[in-house]
Amino acid sequence: MGSPTRVSDINYQLTSVSQGVWGWGVNLHFLHIRRIDVPALIRYPARSSPAQLSHHHSTYRLASLLSTCTAVFLVFFWLCTRRDPQAVIDYDWIPMINLAVLFGLLLLPLRRIAVAHSGRSRLLWMLRRISVGGLAEVKDGKFADILLADALTSYAKVLADLFVCLCMFFFDGPNGSATARPDRACGGDILVPLIMAVPSAIRLRQCLIEYVRVRRAQFRDPSVGWGGQHLANATKYATAFPVIILATMLRNSAKVDSDGDGSPGLYRAWVLACLVNSLYSFYWDVAKDWDLTLFSDERAAPDHPYGLRRRLLVHKPVVYYVVIAMDLLLRLTWTVKLSATMDRIADFESSIFLLQFLEVFRRWVWIFFRVETE
């Protein structure tokens, strides 16, 4: 049964949806100020008339609609439950309706709702393409597919927790509730890990598609290279799978272990897998996605700040150094589980939400510099 002070896990996830839309709006707005034409980079149609809302203002309107919807449902939920633990369980249908409305507004191309209609239609079209790891050609918006698929990797935990809430609401028996303390065993020991692995699998397949395209192009123009960077990028996404598999095995081992400690060997393997995934991903962020020289022999070249590059469009050098440090720190948030005290704190729903929020925030910052590199 949920405690009387809990907002409920599903309400945490709902805020992440509007958070992502607000973040994209800020990305578009700031980069527009910096004279970086994001719509052109993602092959999004330009505005046909100056009277039309700019892309970022249109995104802000959609984000406002989503946030208002969530706020109304959340206030209604609080008024109905009034800090009563049983009421929190009984009124779980309120956030479920909120979830359905949010995704309807976000994904369905409803023409009568004149808020980013064309953008939502395009988003739905892109989601259909990348859902199986598809990747458009450059002229059709390949970069947009990559950005969206990368964003989904940061939402993997959010998507898994939403599935858990839906599973508890529909399939957890007569006493099941989407607002009870999350039962992450709901749906079995396979579906939740699979959902968390899907975004990484999507990006892995996209990298392999790029590799095949480069290999084909090499027959016409040997100067394009053999595509090794795409294989290395695919390997980065593949390192997420051992983390998910070992975490699942460790959780199952702890269930049957009388001491509740699981297997020490599995634990050490999980730590190693997390470390490899985090450090490899951090290296790729800095060296490849942001095209900085911190890990190359050119880091101290005289024509650019140490470890950066000659052209810096987003901000001053100090901001890049802060973002590099922040990216490493947020890539390593899983280390809170290495401390017995911090591990218990990380099990609270508010702490889980904070970690998810920080990952979405990290991805939001990453987009600024990834778009700049493109």
pLDDT of residue 114: 47
* CA count, 13 A, side-chain hemisphere, 353: 18
Phi and psi angles of residue 157, each rounded to the nearest 5 degrees, phi first: -70, -40
Kindly report which listed range (178-187, 228-237, 361-370) carries the lowest average pLDDT score.
178-187
Q: d(Cα 228, Cα 238) in Å, to the nearest integer?
A: 15
pLDDT band at 331 (very low <50, low <70, confident <90, very high): very high
Q: d(Cα 188, Cα 71) in Å, to the nearest integer?
A: 32
pLDDT band at 4 (very low <50, low <70, confident <90, very high): very low
Residue with the bigger pLDDT between 161 and 311: it is 311
pLDDT of residue 321: 96
pLDDT band at 342 (very low <50, low <70, confident <90, very high): low
Q: Are 250 and 266 in contact (CB under 8 A)?
A: yes
pLDDT at 105 over 80: no
pLDDT at 87 over 60: yes
pLDDT at 258 over 60: no
Q: Are 243 and 277 in contact (CB under 8 A)?
A: yes
pLDDT at 1 over 50: no
Percent pLDDT > 90 in the chain is 35
pLDDT at 293 over 70: yes
For residue 54, give the DSSP letter: P
pLDDT average, residue stretch 76-86: 81
The 10s digit of each residue's pLDDT in 197-217 is 999 999 999 999 999 999 888
pLDDT at 256 over 60: no
The CA–CA distances, whole Å, from 54 to 17, 38, 103, 236, 299 equal 22, 12, 23, 36, 38
Give DSSP secondary structure letters for 231-284: HHHHHHHHTHHHHHHHHHHHHHHHHH-TTS---HHHHHHHHHHHHHHHHHHHHH
pLDDT band at 55 (very low <50, low <70, confident <90, very high): confident
